[in-house]
Structure 1
């Protein structure tokens, strides 16, 4: 498999896998412009009443949260978890930049929040807590070591409680209780859901799922915002419903997740929906069986809320400690997860060893190249053998162009004589391609590379190279990218283009004159295309190209290049015509 085929295949796959989101962006509409479609999915009622306008700055109606890794507040109007930032993550690499916000109140710019509640069984008329309910609190603050109890009395013999606690990471425990002093049994059904009242810009494109996500009955469910909008209608605004035991469901971004988890032994209905009135996406669970609070008794149920960074090892720990099924699937490792996950763990181990994600990436690529060196050697030898016999193949095609059968026979004899297998050069590439694709996927989807520094001017491997040749790498006081994103061209993408040009030079191949201009333009096309990609990926490809060239040099030194002289093949004998 010669280098031009490798480059062409890489270019085409990159255009399809990465560039699709640039050329086919999803249309984003405002909630007011969206009309839902009729659905027949059975689901519990969805509360659409609006909360009291309570800003996160209004202290009297809020319970502060100050835990080990998160801070924010709980809206006491409706007991909503709607204000949360992550202490360990900033929006940019600047230490004074704002912390990443994962939950935001209804009246803020990007509202995302978590709701808990009850609804009565059919035929019962009970005064239940809703979005306007003002809860009282047992403490002044919720922390990692200081749980809080929220209480509300409906004045008709029912007292509702919500016990809240948070661990030292991103997991909240929520116990909903109802105490019954009415003198008669009360039947109630609990629910919990994540609500997002705006349509976000999806940054992951085809490579990363962003939006509603769930695991119910061991099956991963991923829906788009568009499918929820088109599938939901009044009165329940449900586009998707599935019953099962336990599981988890929520809304995911590229690096962040907010999800609710019922008791893993309880029968629940997981639902996706879009409330056209409120312009809100809703994902969550409702109990399949009502809880019965006996006279002078109580009923309770415990659920959990995760709201934070999708750190792979943390998700794995929660999965094992809390029996949350397939919680690691919140990170979109893709169809090749069976290979992508091991790649991540090896890369993460190297990161822990070196303390620098860039060095871990370079080391991992070197290890993979060493492991696959025998295959690469075989592929290069096969490509060299094909180049050696190319002149004789050309001569055979010219001599027997009017006799295809004889031409194919002569070519097969030539392959057999020289021990050449035209397909053997493809096999090493096919075996190595999934490994490097999985490495690419890991670098793109995992939060571990986000804002990870390398060396020099690279302070964030997940962002494009901050330098730009069009302003002389910062010497001129203007930003060319303001005119067009295609004018962003940093130092690392330029180095990457140079490595492609060098690969073409050290491995010359016979190229059709009609194709030559295309191959000459490939380094330029690749350079501009990769300029907008995360610089960590560009560094990886540069390093991979350099190692490929080094491998080829070693193979040539080790085995040499066979130079065969063209073999003269006699032309076919002219047939004698009988007179």
Structure 2
């Protein structure tokens, strides 16, 4: 069971596990996903090019999407079966700018957002994130989050009312033009109020307020001046047309998301919700939220945390001349408005950047159930989130002492701290491996003596371990324990927005993007672009070199094939990590350097031979120099 070199067995195990994950991601997930995305964009471009004038434009919401007929929670018979959908208006326009101009609007102007609310439909359908840009270049466009229903990439939030089945009451619809009681813009200090009278005794008022960041509060009121009671159901939805550009990493969820009461976290990918049976409805939930998430941005509607509601996750497949669409919505319990009375419903809308501390503050202040899961913390939540807070605190500390590359430095400092925490385990691991190595001659003798009796051989080996107080598993255990921490730190650096457009020293201007340089054009000295599969930057090469040097601490393998595998391993990792965000590659390279120094120190402490200089040829070079000097 034990191989001839247990030290190398542990190292090989760690490398095989790491390379297995990377190969799986590269060849079975990321590659096919990227090809699917390219094919989808090509089809989309072809459809837009071939579309005839006067037909429905790609990017328009599908007609009347809805969920399967299910009675509304807590409602009387005849309750609506679904939240209403949106249909593309006749003569739909084809640019975002003209779509915005096609309806009267109330301007939005906050420290974090600009845009407008459409008075036609009373929707929040025009949002731009003024603190974020598409590229590192400070002159690049700001990130656009919401766009109107008539725009090519429609994406908006809508609140409203649904009447009970059989009711003939006129309610605000997608084409309803509301009246703004105030002319000023929506700011944190000046929430506008919209009104609409149905001419049958019902007056609707909508007050929309927003804070300095990304949380809207939408309060809908109904005044009943008629002679009969009205039962109405509040609803809210997020609607998106077309599958956006996806990152395509297996560790990141992009698509429909929500925490639906006691049903917990729901994550449905765009492709999955479009499949037959992919749409999902959950009835009688209390507490939670639902929406659509990208890597760094999200939109989510938040119902009352005390009342029951029905949640739906919908996918509407595309058709010729029309793209696929996605909707998440909730339908709350009915509200009865007696004659002469006024009733109200209130909900929240988050639309913006997924800043961890901001989302946590909303979760606490508004008592939103598990709102922090809007950030994809993954399985190791209990490790991932504390690691984020550590990095965030360190970044703030470095910034306070005037270090510009504060987030990159926080990554390096966190790696040092993690190494320090695991040092006792690593020390025991290396000590165990050192003792095992010193026992190699005795172990070889036992294997040779009992080579025809495997049971006896194992018995004698176990006796030798017991005599020398060695645990053969001690070398593997620290590696196994560190895997969740490594994965959690990797996920923090990948999914949180802090690394986006964060600079580092030298040529790295954005830690969230791959190293922009390439070996194959001499790092920009030669005037030609390099194909993507050959794009190997300076930091991936540094990472590969540190990995190769670390492997040279151990003796050469007696098996030539195994030695060739070890020799090529750093090269393979260099190419695999070339497309990773630079921040992750820098972390990996720095982790290799710390591991190298740690292993070297422990090996020297335990009087274990360090093969580094021998493997690098330094000893031969020094011997040759001495011989040459002696001849002189």
TM-score normalised per structure 1 = 0.90
User: Is 1:224 equivalent to 2:272 in the alignment?
Assistant: no
1:292-441 alignment to 2 at 5 Å? Answer: 292-355=336-399, 356-441=406-491
1:100-149 C-alpha deviation (Å, 9 max, x unpaired): 11111223232211111111112211111111111111223111211101
Q: 3-state SS of the aligned residue for 1:506?
A: coil
Q: CA, structure 1 residues 365+373, in 2 after alignment: closer, same or farther (shift >3 Å)?
A: same
Of 309, 312, 322, which residue of structure 2 is paired with 1:271?
312
User: Is 1:451 equivalent to 2:501 in the alignment?
Assistant: yes
In structure 1, the partner of 2:206 is 162
In structure 1, the partner of 2:219 is 175
Q: 3-state SS of the aligned residue for 1:372?
A: helix
Q: CA, structure 1 residues 510+386, in 2 after alignment: closer, same or farther (shift >3 Å)?
A: farther
In structure 1, the partner of 2:233 is 189
Q: By how many angstroms is 1:56 displaced?
A: 4.5
1:279-317 C-alpha deviation (Å, 9 max, x unpaired): 3211011112x1111112211111010000110000100
Q: CA, structure 1 residues 407+226, in 2 after alignment: closer, same or farther (shift >3 Å)?
A: same
- What is the rounded CA distance, in whole Å, between the counterparts of 2:212 and 2:548 in structure 1? 51
User: Is 1:64 equivalent to 2:107 in the alignment?
Assistant: yes
Of 13, 22, 27, which residue of structure 2 is paired with 1:14?
22
In structure 2, the partner of 1:240 is 281
- What is the rounded CA distance, in whole Å, between the counterparts of 1:84 and 1:321 in structure 2? 24
Q: CA, structure 1 residues 231+223, in 2 after alignment: closer, same or farther (shift >3 Å)?
A: same
Of 161, 169, 176, which residue of structure 2 is paired with 1:126?
169
Q: 3-state SS of the aligned residue for 2:413?
A: helix
1:53-106 C-alpha deviation (Å, 9 max, x unpaired): 473541752221111100111122111111101111111111001111111122
Q: CA, structure 1 residues 389+21, in 2 after alignment: closer, same or farther (shift >3 Å)?
A: same
1:196-254 C-alpha deviation (Å, 9 max, x unpaired): 11112321421011111111224111112233222469xxxx53223212321100111
Q: CA, structure 1 residues 475+204, in 2 after alignment: closer, same or farther (shift >3 Å)?
A: same
- What is the rounded CA distance, in whole Å, between the counterparts of 1:554 and 1:6 in structure 2? 20
- What is the rounded CA distance, in whole Å, between the counterparts of 2:255 and 2:106 in structure 1? 28
Q: CA, structure 1 residues 107+59, in 2 after alignment: closer, same or farther (shift >3 Å)?
A: closer
Point out where structure 2 has 5 or more consecutive residues left out of the alignment.
1-6, 48-57, 73-80, 400-405, 611-632
Of 553, 557, 561, which residue of structure 1 is paired with 2:604?
557
In structure 1, the partner of 2:302 is 261
1:440-477 C-alpha deviation (Å, 9 max, x unpaired): 11001111111111111111111000111111111122
- What is the rounded CA distance, in whole Å, between the counterparts of 1:406 and 1:40 in structure 2? 70
User: Is 1:534 equivalent to 2:581 in the alignment?
Assistant: yes
Of 565, 574, 587, which residue of structure 2 is paired with 1:518?
565
In structure 2, the partner of 1:114 is 157
Q: 3-state SS of the aligned residue for 1:74?
A: strand
Alignment RMSD, CA only? Answer: 2.5
Q: 3-state SS of the aligned residue for 2:459?
A: helix
Q: 3-state SS of the aligned residue for 1:188?
A: strand
Q: 3-state SS of the aligned residue for 2:275?
A: helix
User: Is 1:544 equivalent to 2:552 in the alignment?
Assistant: no
1:457-498 C-alpha deviation (Å, 9 max, x unpaired): 1111110001111111111222113xxx21110000000010
Kindly indicate whether the alpha-carbon contact (under 8 Å) linking 1:217 and 1:245 is maintained by their aligned counterparts in 2. yes
Q: How many residues align?
A: 554
Q: By how many angstroms is 1:47 displaced?
A: 2.4
Q: CA, structure 1 residues 160+275, in 2 after alignment: closer, same or farther (shift >3 Å)?
A: farther
Kindly indicate whether the alpha-carbon contact (under 8 Å) linking 1:340 and 1:441 is maintained by their aligned counterparts in 2. yes
Of 271, 281, 285, which residue of structure 1 is paired with 2:330?
285
Q: CA, structure 1 residues 490+371, in 2 after alignment: closer, same or farther (shift >3 Å)?
A: same
Kindly indicate whether the alpha-carbon contact (under 8 Å) linking 2:302 and 2:348 is maintained by their aligned counterparts in 1. yes
In structure 2, the partner of 1:506 is 553
Q: By how many angstroms is 1:273 displaced?
A: 1.3
Q: 3-state SS of the aligned residue for 2:560?
A: coil
Q: CA, structure 1 residues 42+228, in 2 after alignment: closer, same or farther (shift >3 Å)?
A: farther
